[in-house]
Structure 1
Amino acid sequence: MARRFDHLADVEAFVAVVDHGSLTAGAVALSTTASVLSRAIARLEGRLGTQLLRRTTRRLSLTDAGRLYLEQARTAFSLFDSVEREIQGQEGEQLSGRVRLTVPTTYGHYRLPSRLQGFLAQHPQVQLELNITNRNVDLVAEGFDMAIRLGQLPDSGLVARKLEDATLCLVASPTYLKRRGTPRTLEELAQHVCVPFVLPSTGRIAPWLFSTQSGDVDWTAPAGIQVSDDVLGMVSLAEQGVGVCQTYDFIAQERIRRGQLVEVLPELRGRSRPFSLIYAPHRRLSAASRALIEALAG
């Protein structure tokens, strides 16, 4: 009986070349050579009877057939990966397997470690791949099992379970306040050096959220210094006396206790932003992934 899927190594070569952008980079990822991958793709194209990649001396591009085949190949490999991890997680009483989680820097540095300690102690055979970034990762396309996201989530078809509403506060260093004075109103705050964050999704400054006697206020800070990509950079700049920033209580509390930061306009506090755990409902989650979801959101 002839083997039906003896070409899977060629399919893997095709996916690796597209994902990494070149034959050379794909070869490095698969620990082989560019010529080996070139022959593998040629065999695959011969089997299918159509061209998948257009090759020039400078770049590779997908044909229409290549785009269709790539999408289906990624789906197939994702299913293989999922079922292997599910089986690994079901063998015996001890959970095992790999879980891939992506989180924003604020949560990854300040909230997630304490939440993971108990889970990892209880399930030492689980391998956790943790991606800490402020970029909105595409869960399915990039092979992540779940993500922690900030803010109100769009109706994307993903399952979302809220982790917490994180309270915000306004802070500055004692040296800055000594040099510039302490603002008593929003009007006075507008005259200070404000350090807001530029949202990567929109390129706009994230508003500072305040609660006043008249109601909630979304206030756009005059950008003395704009911070992008790493939101924790705002806190570092404020701590060094550069200006005023708004951050989460869970980041500022210890610094306030040590005297490195001082809360400004505390009468305007009370607003918060939500953090949620999200995952794709149509993707088969391994036992280890399901256990981690319950540990984080349960």
Structure 2
Amino acid sequence: MCVSAQGGPVPEEVAEFGIRADDLRYLAALADTGRLVATAEVLGVDHTTVARRVRALEKRLGAQLVRLENDGWELTDAGRAVVGQGRAISDAVKRAIRAVAGVQDDELTGTVRIAAAEGFGTRFVVPALARVQSAHPRLKADLVTGASHLGLRGTNFDLTLVPGPPPRTRLFSERLSEYDAALYASESYLDTYGNPATLDELQAHRFVFFVDAMQRVRELDLESYVPRHTVQFASPNIFALLEATRAGAGICLLPKFMATTTAGLRRIDADLPPQRVPLTLVARPEVLDRPEVRLVREALHREVATRQNELVWK
């Protein structure tokens, strides 16, 4: 017997159409991930099985339930009308598994997938996730960091933390926080080459910065700070830039939350205002009602709210 979104039985006439309850569960899983491969991983099947089962459901219902958009597979109006049935079936399966395993109903399980830039992901997302998992030890978190994972098209992440303002997308987006960045150098570098106090002096120094072709954080704009500059060391990895700066390779535009916690770095004397970078949380609308995603999202907001002094200068 199928279960409705309200917890009751699905009307008997549904069975007359030959609808398989499991096909509704596949539809709910595809709505959550937006990707066939990611859905297959969640369900433990091949991605072709996911596609076949969803198409079979569409054929039985006589309606298109999902369509492929730039941001991945999205529910149609018909899909949104029936996906609640699939979620109810998935929830029933999860409750059965928890009951057999002796897990309390209020203990969260499942997996939350997050993508973030290396620096913010390491310094802020990791501790937020650790606190969530301390309260819910059966909850799994997958954190992937790096600029190559921050593109929003076809994402299979539940939450993506993107430097910059909310993008133009059909996905849900909200401002998570902001952080400041300023020019720093090592004590040894400044002792050797001098601490630049003016823009003219600054332009004579060498710099450490992102590989331009891979730079996604356009708000971190070295060009606007120093119109004439020479980058002697470049990398797509913020920790490589931080280490190169600490080792005396040059001056670098670094986030406050990383530079002020690294020994041996000093902000240069030139009177330049910090660059402020917005940080946006992006998610597929379908995942926001999942309890585990909602809990992680709330934990991220708490993390940045309680650590604002590390992120920005007042």
The verdict on a shared fold, with TM-score over 0.5 as the criterion, is yes
Aligned counterparts of 1:292 and 1:202: Cα–Cα separation in 2? 25
Is the aligned partner of 1:297 residue 2:310?
no
Is the deviation greater in 143-152 or in 195-204?
A: 195-204
**Alignment match, 2:309:** none
Q: What is the CA RMSD across the aligned residues, in angstroms?
A: 4.3
Aligned counterparts of 1:219 and 1:229: Cα–Cα separation in 2? 20
Aligned counterparts of 2:125 and 2:241: Cα–Cα separation in 1? 20
Q: Taking structure 1 as reference, are residues 296 and 284 closer, same or farther at Cα in structure 2, changes over 3 Å only?
A: closer
Instruction: Report how far residue 113 of structure 1 moved.
Output: 2.3
> Structure 2: which amino acid aligns with 1:149?
V
**Alignment match, 1:156:** 169
Instruction: Report how far residue 96 of structure 1 moved.
Output: 1.4
In structure 2, the residue corresponding to 1:254 is in which secondary structure? coil
Is the deviation greater in 182-191 or in 82-91?
A: 82-91
Is the deviation greater in 279-288 or in 200-209?
A: 200-209
Q: Per-residue displacement from partner, 1:154-200 (whole Å, max 9, x unpaired)?
A: 21122223232212121111221122111111111111011122262
Q: Taking structure 1 as reference, are residues 120 and 31 closer, same or farther at Cα in structure 2, changes over 3 Å only?
A: closer
**Alignment match, 1:286:** 290
> Structure 2: which amino acid aligns with 1:192?
H
> Structure 1: which amino acid aligns with 2:283?
Y
Aligned counterparts of 1:120 and 1:160: Cα–Cα separation in 2? 24
Q: Which among 107, 115, 120 is matched to residue 107 of structure 1?
A: 120
Aligned residue-pair number:
244
Checking the alignment, whether the CA contact within 8 Å between 1:145 and 1:285 is kept in structure 2 is no
> Where do 5+ consecutive residues of structure 2 fail to align?
1-15, 27-35, 57-65, 76-82, 99-103, 303-314
Q: Taking structure 1 as reference, are residues 133 and 219 closer, same or farther at Cα in structure 2, changes over 3 Å only?
A: same
Is the aligned partner of 1:165 residue 2:169?
no
Checking the alignment, whether the CA contact within 8 Å between 1:171 and 1:244 is kept in structure 2 is yes
Counting aligned pairs with the same residue, the percent is: 20
Is the aligned partner of 1:126 residue 2:142?
no
Q: TM-score, normalised by structure 2?
A: 0.62
Instruction: Report how far residue 120 of structure 1 moved.
Output: 1.6
> Structure 1: which amino acid aligns with 2:299?
A
Aligned counterparts of 2:192 and 2:215: Cα–Cα separation in 1? 35
> Structure 2: which amino acid aligns with 1:154?
P
Aligned counterparts of 2:255 and 2:242: Cα–Cα separation in 1? 10
Write the mapping of 1:217-236 to structure 2, written as runs, cut at 5 A: 218-220=225-227, 222-225=229-232, 227-236=234-243
Write the mapping of 1:79-98 to structure 2, written as runs, cut at 5 A: 83=87, 88=94, 92-98=105-111
> Where do 5+ consecutive residues of structure 1 fail to align?
12-18, 21-25, 49-68, 210-216
Q: Which among 273, 279, 289 is matched to residue 275 of structure 1?
A: 279
**Alignment match, 1:200:** 214
Is the deviation greater in 279-288 or in 133-142?
A: 133-142
Q: Per-residue displacement from partner, 1:41-66 (whole Å, max 9, x unpaired)?
A: xxx8xx99xxxxxxxxxxxxxxxxxx
